[in-house]
A and B are shown apart, each in its own frame.
Chain A
Amino acid sequence: MRQTYGKLLPGMKLSDLAGKLIVVEGTDGAGRSTQINMLRPWLEELGHAVLDTGMTRSLLAGEGIRRAKEGNNLGRVTQSLFYATDFVDRLENEMIPALRAGFIVLTDRYIYSLMARAIVRGMDAGWIRGIYSAALVPDAVFYLRLDVEQLIPRVIFSRGFDYWESGMDVFPGQDMYENFRSYQAALLAEFDRLSVEFNFETLDASADAKLVFAQLQAKVQRILDRDSKKTSFTKVYDQAAAAAGTYGGHPVTLPRETTSKQSDWAFHPVAANLFRENGRNIPEHT
Chain B
Amino acid sequence: MNTGSNMRIGPFEVFYPIEESAPRLRHNGDPSLPGRLFVVEGIDGSGKSTQLSLLHKWLESKGYGVVFSQWNSSELVKDTTKLGKKKKMLTPATFSLIHATDFADRIERSILPLLKAGAVVLCDRYIYTAFARDVARGMDRQWVRDLYGFAAKPAVAFYFRVPLETAIGRLVTGRDGFKFYEAGLDIGLSDDPTESFRLFQGRIVDEYEKMIPEFGLTVVDATLPVEVQQAQVRQIVRTHLERAKELRVRP
Contacts and interface: CB of A to CB of B under 8 A. Distances in A.
Interface of A: 7, 9-11, 59-61, 63-64, 67-68, 71, 73-78, 80-82, 84-85, 88-89, 92-93, 121-124, 126-127, 130-131, 133-134, 170-172
B19 A60 contact: no
Interface string B97-137: 11011001101110000000000000000000000000001
B15 interface: no
5 contacts: A9-B91, A68-B77, A88-B91, A92-B93, A127-B25
Contacts, number: 123
A227 B104 CA distance: 42
Contacts of B94: 60, 85, 88-89, 92
Interface of B: 1, 3, 5, 18-22, 25-26, 74, 76-77, 79-80, 83-84, 89-94, 97-98, 100-101, 104-105, 107-109, 137-140, 143, 146-147, 149-150, 187
A172 B3 contact: yes
A9 B100 CA distance: 16
A81 B5 CA distance: 21
A64 B149 CA distance: 23
Contact of A130 (B79, B91, B109, B146): B146
Chain A interface main SS type: helix
Given A61-B98, A75-B109, 11 more contacts: A11-B138, A59-B89, A63-B80, A71-B76, A76-B21, A78-B77, A88-B94, A92-B91, A122-B18, A124-B21, A126-B26
A70 to B, nearest CB: 11
B80 A60 contact: yes
A142 B104 CA distance: 32
B108 A76 contact: yes
| Interface of B (DSSP majority class) | helix
A71 B26 CA distance: 29
Contacts of B21: 76-77, 121-124
A74 B80 CA distance: 14
B79 to A, nearest CB: 6
B22 A122 contact: yes
- Which of B91, B147, B187 lies at the interface centre, i.e. has the most chain A CB atoms within 10 A of its CB? B91
A73 B22 contact: no
- List the 6 shortest-distance A-B pairs measured between CB atoms, nearest first: A75-B108, A10-B138, A64-B80, A124-B25, A81-B101, A85-B97
A127 B149 contact: yes
Contact of B93 (A10, A68, A75, A172): A10
Of A92, A122, A171, which is in contact with the most chain B CB atoms at under 10 Å from its CB?
A122
B25 A123 contact: yes
Contact of B89 (A89, A126, A134, A172): A89
A170 B18 contact: yes
B100 to A, nearest CB: 5
Contact of A78 (B89, B101, B140): B101
Contacts of A63: 80, 83
Nearest to A122: B21
A63 B1 CA distance: 31
A19 to B, nearest CB: 20
A215 to B, nearest CB: 35
Contacts of A71: 76
A10 B108 contact: no
A73 B187 CA distance: 34
Contact of A123 (B5, B22, B83): B22
A262 B147 CA distance: 59
Contacts of A84: 97, 101
B100 A81 contact: yes
A73 B5 CA distance: 12
A134 B93 contact: yes
Contacts of A61: 80, 98
Most chain B Cβ neighbours within 10 Å, of A60, A93, A134: A60
Contacts of B138: 10-11
B77 A64 contact: yes
A60 B98 contact: yes
B144 to A, nearest CB: 10
A59 B90 CA distance: 11
